[in-house]
Amino acid sequence: MPHSPYDLPRLLAELDPHADLAERHLWLIHTLQWLRASAPSVEVAIAKAEALVAAIEADEALRLRLQLWWQRFTQTVDITTLLADFGFAQRTAMATEVAERLRLKLLPGTPETIDAAELFSIAMPEEFDARWLNALPEALLQRLADLLTPANSQGAGFWQHALLGALTYCAGQILANGFTPELRLRMSEQAREQQPFHALIQDVENLRVEVLHGLRTPERLEAAEQRLRERLDACRAAIGTVYQHFAAEGISVGLVFRVRQVRARIVRMRQLLSCLGSEHPEQEAARLLAGFVSVGRDRRSLRHLWNTNTSLLAAKVTERSAETGEHYISHTRAEYLQMVRRAAGGGLLMSVTTLLKFSLAALAFSAFWGGFWAGVNYSISFVLIQLLHLTVATKQPAMTAPAMAAKLKDVQSSQDSAGSLSAFADEVASLVRTQVAAILGNVLVVFPAALLLAWLWAQYGSSGQPLLDEQQALHTLESLHLLGPSALFAAYTGVLLFASSLIAGWVENWFVLRQLHSAIRYNPGFTRWLGKQRAKRWGDFWRANISGFAANISLGMMLGLTPAIAAFFGLGLEVRHVTLSSGQIGAATATLGLEVLMQPVFWWALALLPINGALNVSVSFYMAFRMALRAHNINSVERSRIYAAIRQLLRQKPRSFFLP
């Protein structure tokens, strides 16, 4: 914390109620800087505040100057923007809020403003401000209030009018959002029938009448305040029912953002009500301003905005991935053998993909178009594998991780802790052996299949030439050398695998949010064109396969295009997908023949495959698992006990991690 250049005599000398607007506000900012220079000692800051109040109390002329300064401040500055709107977005849209926060970060504010919220952001930007405000003793706050407000003035009326105005403003914002179709139609039927938002403004006005009426009774005032609190509880309950529809109807960052804004405004109204009805308004005001310090810091934070408004979206994305991931975990011998067969079929199809990759490379496209057509090749292959109900091993971990995290959440909530941990360890063993089976099924088929296809190409192709010449074959093996950068590229490929699962979950959520399944099935235009039965089949087909299409197409295009894009920036980045790498080794072996067995480069490339597969799988699984844990808010689980249960199973039944 930098030392303040101001001292108490200088601050008191600069107090000028007749100065320009900016100069009057600068005096307040300099005074708060002087107090803030005490950080991190709250006691020193309180002592400075005591000295400031005592100095003004001892000087009648100074006290009159301060009172006139405060009078001009309250007459020119709009306090409602601070009490009602500080910390909230001006527009209920995520994109505009991101732009606004960037503006607040990059552009300086000015004290020449009548917006109390903007002035507060400049005057109290540090967390230390909240600490010393909360620590101000009640007696000191009362003395300061007496200094600002002469005994014969209407200072209390100003504070009441400010709070009532802020309550009206907040109620109007809540009402406007509660009536928006995107929220109202997602509320429960019971919440819509109760119409909690309709009478909100009326309850605020009733409270205003009771507060400002000279002949009010405490009972009437208390009853009016209680009715408003009950109305706010009903509005909060109604807006809470929107979350229940996210599961079936999808979720978006914009919807979460709007719901959170409404809930936060309801909380703000309750805080304002507490200030209005408090017997110690000075202390409540200090607490409110201290809370605004933290609100202001969050208001400027892009990270806070992203974390608070994407947590539900992340949960929904991982939940949809978990539904898919369950199908990739085998528990019985029959399921295990079925996974081996599906992986073998996927490996066979990937051998064709490998040959097409080398054929496209022979056409000598430019870097971008070469990467683009390679991505199209991969995408088509992955989609065919999906439609034929085959599998590519490395695509599984990012889908199975959310399923495992969901089971870990069940462990957390279970009363039988030991039994749940044991069941979770069994699930880990099932996942590991399924992954081993899938990788072996892919690799053990794609290598000989690619070798055979490359040999047939050389023997019976129209050109009579091998798919790769000897130099290209050796270069392919050298690029897959274990001691080169291939391990790093394999880890990067794991990141791409994780990214494809995110895209899949997001696209499926978007598909459900827009109700496209229902539109395809029932839209008159579609049913007239396709017929009712065919439209139903198409709707069901897209609902079942949209996630897989998104994952496969995005992964294929990323595998093809990211090396080309990285090369544009001078980065020698490649992808190392274990199944494709195995096919490339097979194609190179077909060119080099049996003599390749005598070359160390072949064995170094072969040694890369288990490392390649392990990195593809572990990186994608780790990233997906961590995101799923965060999305499910699993923070208090005793991970050491979980790891101990897995180690115990590994000691007792090591075979279960490899065979059913």
pLDDT at 214 over 80: no
Q: Are the CB atoms for 141 and 282 separated by under 8 Å? A: yes
Instruction: Read off the pLDDT of residues 477-531 as tens digits, 9 standing for 90 and up.
Output: 999 999 989 999 999 999 998 888 888 878 887 888 788 888 898 989 888 888 8
173-208 pLDDT, tens digit per residue, is 999 888 888 888 888 888 888 889 999 999 999 998
Q: Are 474 and 592 in contact (CB under 8 A)?
A: yes
Residue 585, Cβ neighbours under 10 Å: how many?
Answer: 25
- State how far Cα 301 lies from the chain centre: 14
Give the largest CA-CA distance in the chain.
108
In order of 235, 238, 263, 471, 609, the CA distances from 193 in angstroms are 12, 10, 20, 76, 62
Average pLDDT, the chain: 84
Beta bridge partners of 78: 115
Within 13 Å of residue 453, how many CA atoms lie on the same side as its CB?
Answer: 23
1, pLDDT greater than 50: no
Q: pLDDT-derived band of residue 632, with 50, 70 and 90 as boundaries?
A: low
Residue in the block written with tokens 């527009």:
91
pLDDT tens for 590-602 read: 999 988 999 999 9
Mind listing the pLDDT tens digit for each residue in 290-320? 999 988 888 777 777 777 666 656 666 665 5
pTM passes above 0.85:
no
For residues 205-240, one letter each, b for 16 or more C-beta atoms within 10 angstroms of the residue's C-beta and e for the rest, the string is ebbbebbeeeeeeeeebeebbeebbebbebbbebbe
Residue 482 C-beta-side C-alpha neighbours within 13 Å: 13
**Residue 363: CB atoms within 10 Å:** 9
**Residues 648 and 418 sit within 8 Å (Cβ to Cβ):** no
Query: What are 328's two structure tokens?
Result: 């990739």
* C-alpha to C-alpha distances, 561 to 231, 362, 575, 584, nearest whole angstrom: 55, 17, 10, 18
> How many H helices and E strands in the chain?
30, 0
State the Cα–Cα distance between residues 135 and 46, nearest whole angstrom: 8
* Residue 308: count of CB within 10 angstroms of its CB: 15
CA 497 to chain centre: 19
